[in-house]
Structure formats: structure tokens, C-alpha cells
Amino acid sequence: MSTAVTLTDDSPGLADVPGFQLAGVHCDVRETGNPRRDLAVVFSEKPAVAAGVFTTNDVKAAPVKHCQASLAAREDFHAIVANSGNANACTGVQGWNDCEAMAAQAASLLKISPDQVFVCSTGRIGRGLPMGKISAGIADAVAQLAADDAHSLDAAWAILTSDTKPKTVTARFSVGGQTVTVSGMAKGAGMIEPNMATMLAFVATDAQVSKAALQAALAEAVRSSFNSITVDGDMSTNDTVLVLANGVSGVAVDDAASEAGAAFRDALGQVCRALAGKIVGDGERITKVVTLNITGAPTDAGAEKVARAIGNSLLVKTSWFGNDPNWGRLLDAAGYARIGLVEEKLDLFYDEIPVIEQGTPLHDKLPQWKQAVAKKTFTITMNLNLGSGAYHLLSADLSEGYVNFNKSE
Amino acid sequence: MSTAVTLTDDSPGLADVPGFQLAGVHCDVRETGNPRRDLAVVFSEKPAVAAGVFTTNDVKAAPVKHCQASLAAREDFHAIVANSGNANACTGVQGWNDCEAMAAQAASLLKISPDQVFVCSTGRIGRGLPMGKISAGIADAVAQLAADDAHSLDAAWAILTSDTKPKTVTARFSVGGQTVTVSGMAKGAGMIEPNMATMLAFVATDAQVSKAALQAALAEAVRSSFNSITVDGDMSTNDTVLVLANGVSGVAVDDAASEAGAAFRDALGQVCRALAGKIVGDGERITKVVTLNITGAPTDAGAEKVARAIGNSLLVKTSWFGNDPNWGRLLDAAGYARIGLVEEKLDLFYDEIPVIEQGTPLHDKLPQWKQAVAKKTFTITMNLNLGSGAYHLLSADLSEGYVNFNKSE
């Protein structure tokens, strides 16, 4: 029997985890005078094990390279400093030096070592960070650090860019009378696609875990969450998921086959999937979230190709925006994934309503199709009937508002 | 010394080629009463050699399969029957039978064999053809066939879907006192991407050429024209390029190394590139055409990946729409092509204006960047400085109008 994991969808975020302090402040990173919060600090009172997954873009922002270097160097971490409004990407040597300065300042104030601090940035590419403002923000945030809900939500707000709301979630499970908490916060909005996106996600837990086990558990959780979403097909230079585990629950979770280990992986997966769902649901100017459920492909990789071809097709996404049950565009996109689709074998459903059976459209069901695709969320199931490969992708529509929003920064 | 090819950009189309008759009529394929022309017939008085290139989508419309079967079966062709408004795609056995009926009717009226007739369709996917209307249209068009400019333009109009204007071009060259003509017409507008698009292109020539040589010359011409454009990244089920060569000029062009052979390939390439350019320039609700010129990649294939990542990026395309010199999005997209780009080596230009030199942005040139990207057409040159691979892609911006136009059919 597996241990039940309880998910709290509207949690205050990382302060739910014993031993973590947070702050989110305004320091005007955007240099526009807009009073929004734009710098967050996450602080683990005890040294924490860490794991990370990063963008696979050839063009990696300085903070991504800096996080990767820190992660490789140590086993004991204490803090994350993250700013929104400027990605510190394509900023050359200066960008790296700015990361070092941010880590050094936070470390000095927190009385830890600079390589115990992860630095993350998100926002506009190609401009140097306003380091005077950033430095004031770090000082302010460290001074404000607290373990309460309000400060935790401040941090969740501070990492947002074009998101419209903070994204937090907490999972809990109990083993032998001990409760383990896994809580996360994320930002998304645009550049959301394979292998992460302009997305940051920070997860904290009080589970007791080795670095290697945590990294493996995170990689698995990311595969079916942050790597299974798409908004616009654009992968960012800054994507970062970090997990800090401080061990204060005393519950050891290294062994995936143990009761606690299985529950921990379940909880981490649920947190990542919930955050990923919130990212798609708050994609730039989207009006609906569509789940693509591809089955019966020759391989899982083939199913993924079909799902991504559909989920990134402009013609498909605009038809979703228009509530148009345009299954022809779905078939067209599936076909150009070129995995050997056989039209005559294909079954297609909007939610539970059959659209195509063995390649033949059931035109008399058009009124039901229209009802299904007019909903804010619906599922498209495509069974290729060629094998046992499957893939699941969360996607979104494309609106005129997206174009208007992104036509200039 | 190579033979000069003269290109006439606003030609009447295929009637420029001796021995070809055309017609374009209204038969209400869309069943909306809209009086636009929607059925074209191309007729070669003498048997013509043919070559064709077709969509590589797994989901091929019935007329594509029918054309491929016809092309394989014979060496002597006489006609093309093409309708707009309905793609005859995803229509199963009925779709194939409708192709056969269209070919049979045209053949009967033209006193030729059904397998000497190519059938093409473009338009909405997933609905059966209105065969009563199509049949009336074929009868009408065959009755109207003529070799003059007006009928040629009627045909060029009849194959359009969401295009706003007909696309025709004629190339001519002379060898030994004999003139050879190559003329084409095309339709494009949406679903325009790799390996063709919802595009049809029909080319006629009076060159004397074998089927094998014509096929090779066409494949080469398509590679650098119709396969080097993108509007929205969607590849269609119906893409077809057909060439008919009736040999009446008496000029043999089989040998690519001969004066006439080289000039013919040059002319065919120019016709295909001109038509491809017209397709992008008339893409659905686009406001500008951007040439992507990727050089210095490790391989040509790598350069193509970078070009397509940029040319299909929603964030890049929306920034073009907004006249925003957002080179950060260009770098981001180039990076997720994942061909091993090294940021520090990269040079970037808007037209002739340097943007990035060896990875460093030249911010003082911002006013010039803005001028360059505000133009209706401009070129982005990205030199990766990693090797000698190169690729050239014509792309377009993404407007709010595109989304509005495609949100339902």
C-alpha cells in the first residue's frame, strides 16, 4: 500500500517547509519605477542538499552556468537569490562577474560561502544587470527574511515576469508519525517549451536525501512535468529548476523502493506537475489549456514528436482559440511529425467524444465536438494504433493578445 | 560564358509557353455562393514530359497520391485539373474515387487517357468534394480553354485560397536562335513550411527534356525555393509542384553541362524562387518578409536547423511584427537549435548593420537597428564562425491578423 500524499494547491509556498526563510522585495530591476517586487531570496537555515535541472539551449545565461558550477562544487547549500526583469543572458564576461558579485554579497550578509548561493535571473535578454539596484535589493531581502506565509508569497511574486499570478504548491506525507513537506514556487508565462522554458522553479523539502538520489528524483519529476508542457515552442536561455533538501524531518528517502522514498518521489512529482500546469494555465494571453494524449505510437519518442507537432502548430493553436473543432489541422500536424502515421488506423477523441474512428470522421457528432472544444480545458486523445508508445503534453491556444503582447518589449 | 535568362515578374503565366492552353472558372467548390474562380485546367496540346515534387507529410491528400501514381505510370501527360476551396484530404476511399472521376471526366472531354491528367486540390481538410459542382466546373473550364493571357490569369486566380493575388512568373533564354520559355503559377498563403506547404505550383516549359532529367532539375530547383520558405511552420497534406515540358522549342536541355541545359536549370530555379518569394510575401496577414542568411555553421544541415528555429519562433516573428530589434530572441532561438553554437564567436547583422560582434552586442547602433527592422523586407545574417555550413530561408512575421484569420474556418 502506498503512502498518501496530500497536495495543497493554494499554499503560501516554501515557508511551508520547516527551516526555510523567504523574502521578496522591490529594487527596480526593470528601471521603470514600477513598484512590483523583483528580487527574491530563499534561505535554508541548515545546510541543504541540492539538485538542479537547467535549459539545454546552446545559449545559456550567465546565472545558469553559475548555478551549474556551484552545484558541481559542493554538497551543502544555503540560499537562492533570484531576480526578475532581466535575464542576465548574452551579457558575456560582465554577466558572469555580476553573478559572482550577487552570490558574494548574499553570502557575506548570510555568513555563508559564496558557492553555497544559487543565483537565478529571468526577463529581458541582452542587457547588463543594474547592479546598484540589485545590490540594494539583496541587502533589503536578506534583512527581511522570515519563515511566515506573507514573506513566502512575497518571494513567489518577486520571481514573476509576464505571469499574472504567483504559482505555489505544497505536498505533504507522513511516515512513521513524521511528516515530510515538499513545497515549490515557479514562474512561467512565455518561451515555454521542450526541456523547460523561461521558467524558474524552486522546491524546498525537509526530506533527508543524498545529492545523487535527489538529482535522480528531480530528473524523473521534471520529465513528466516541466518538460511536458508547451506554450509557444520557444525554449529559454535561463530555465532552471532547483531543489533544496534540508533533512530536518529526519525521514530518509534515498531508497526509491521504501515507503518514504516512494512517497517522496510521488510528492516531488506532484509538486512539479502542479507547477507545470499552473505555468501553462497562466501562459501569455492564453484562453485555454489543452491536454494532448497521444497513444498507440510506434515508440514513446514518436508519440512525443506527434504531440509536439500538434501542440506547437500555429494553425492548431489558433483554431483552439477560435473554438473550432478543426480535426483536419490536428491530422495535418500529426502527419508532418513523420513517424509513419497511417491515416486509416487513427482514432481521435475530443474528451470522450469520438471524432475519427479508423481514419473516418464521424461528422454527425459535430455539435458535440463544438461543445467540447469551446471549454476552457479539454483533452485531445489520438490513438495511432501502431504500437504502445505514448506521450502526454500540456499545451495552450494562441491568441491575438499573445501577438500584441510580444510584438515589442 | 553562361546564357542570360530574362525573368518577367508580372507575366500572365503559363500561356507564355507555346502549346499550352488554360482556363479558370467558378463552380462554387466552397458552396458559399462566392463568385470567385475555383477550378483551373492546364492543357498541353502535345504530350508533355512531367516531373513532380510532393508533400512529405505522413497524411497525404488523395490528389497527392493520385498524382504520384500517374507520374510513375507514364511518360506523356496532357493536363492538370486543380480546384481550390477543398483539399480532398482525410477523405478516405471516396477521396481517391473523386480524383479518378475528375481525371476521367477531363480525359473524356480532352480526348486523352485518364492517367495523362494530374488532379490537384487545396483548401479545407476533411470534407468530401462537391462532385456535382466540380464536374460542372471541369466541363466549363475545358470548354473555355485558350492560350491567351486572360485565360492564363483566370487559371492563376482559380487555384488561390487565402492568397490576396495571383502568383505568376516567366523566364526566357535563347540558344542558337531558339527561345525557350519556362513559366509558372503558384498559390500559397498558410501552412507554409519545410518541404513545401499548402502550396501548389505548376510550371510549363517548351524545353525538350527527358523525364529523368526534368525530375532531377525540379528537385534541385525546389530545394532552394519552395523548401526554403516558412510562414507558420505548418506543412500541408497537399503540397504539389508539377512541371510539364512539351518540347516544342526543339531545344534539348538534358545535359546540365551544355549551354542550353545550364540555362534551363537556371531558368527553372529562377521561376521557382520567384514563386516561393511571392508565396512568403503574400503569407496570411504578414506585414514583412525577412531573409535569414545563416553562415559559418558546422554543416549546411546545422545552418538549416538554426534558420528554421529562428524563422519559426513565435517570439521572433512577433518581434518582427512589432519592429523590435530584439536580437536576444534571435540568439535564444539559434541556441535551442542545439547545433553547438558558441555565443562568444557569433556575429550578427541587420542588413549591413552590425548587431553582435564575436558575441558582444554593439548597443550604440540601436537607432540603426530600429531603422533596419522597421522596413518591409530586411535580411538577418548570422555568422556562427564555426565552419562553412550555410542556409538561406525566407520567413515572415506573425501578426494579430494571422491569429484572427485562422481562429476558425
ipTM: 0.72
Q: Check if the beta carbon of residue B269 is closer than 8 Å to that of residue B226.
A: no
Active-site residue A179, yes or no? no
**What does the pLDDT average to over B95-108?**
97
Q: Which CATH architecture has domain A289-406?
A: Roll (3.10)
Pick A76 or A2 by higher pLDDT. A76
Q: What is the pLDDT of residues A258-290, one digit of tens each?
A: 999 999 999 999 999 999 888 888 776 778 889
Does any CB of chain B come closer than 8 Å to the CB of residue A328? yes
pLDDT, tens only, B52-91:
998 877 888 899 999 999 999 999 999 999 999 999 988 8
B35 and A CB contact within 8 Å: no
More confident residue, A13 or B284: A13
Share above pLDDT 70 across residues of chain A, in percent, rounded to a whole number: 94
Contact check, Cβ <8 Å, B329/A58: no
The closest of B153, B155, B207 to B181, measured between CA atoms, is: B207
Pairwise CB contact (< 8 Å): B58 & A336? yes
Find the CB nearest B58 among A323, A338, A404.
A338
Tell which residue, B287, B296, B214, B197, has the closest CA to residue B256.
Answer: B214
Name which of A12, A37, A7 is nearest A152 in CA terms: A12
Residue A197 banded pLDDT, cuts 50, 70, 90: very low
Confidence at B193, pLDDT banded by 50, 70, 90: very low
> Which three-class secondary structure state does DSSP give residue A117?
strand
- B335–A contact, CB cutoff 8 A: yes
Q: Do B335 and A126 touch (CB under 8 A)?
A: no
CB spacing of B90 vs A329 below 8 angstroms: no
Reading the block at residue B392, the C-alpha cell is 538561406
Q: What are phi and psi of B309, to 5 degrees?
A: -60, -45
> Is residue A325 within 8 Å of residue A373, measured between CB atoms?
yes
Of B59, B312, B359, the CB nearest to A343: B59
CB of B312 less than 8 A from some CB of A: yes
DSSP string of B319-376?
HHHTT---HHHHHHHHHHT-S---GGG-EEEETTEEEEETTEE-GGGHHHHHHHHTSS
pLDDT digits (tens, 9 = 90+) for A374-400: 998 899 999 999 999 999 888 888 887
Q: Does residue B56 sit at the A interface (CB-CB below 8 Å)? A: yes
Which residue in this structure is represented by grid cell 553559475? Answer: A66
Are residues A409 and B89, on separate chains, in Cβ contact within 8 Å? Answer: no
Domain boundaries, chain A: 6-281, 289-406
Per-residue confidence (pLDDT) for residue A193, from 0 to 100: 42
Using the Cβ of A305 and the Cβ atoms of chain B, whether some distance falls under 8 Å is answered with no
Closest chain A residue by Cα to residue B405: A318
Partner residue opposite A332 with nearest CB, options B57, B313, B319? B57
CATH of domain A6-281: 3.60.70.12
The active-site residue out of B91, B161, B198, B230 is: B198
The answer to whether A324 and B408 are in contact (CB under 8 A) is: yes
3-state helix, strand, coil in chain B (%, to 5): 35, 30, 35
Where does residue B33 rank: exposed (0-12), middle (13-18), buried (19+ CB within 10 A)? Answer: exposed
What is the mean pLDDT of the segment spanning B192-204?
65
Name the residue facing A58 among B89, B321, B335 (closest C-beta): B335
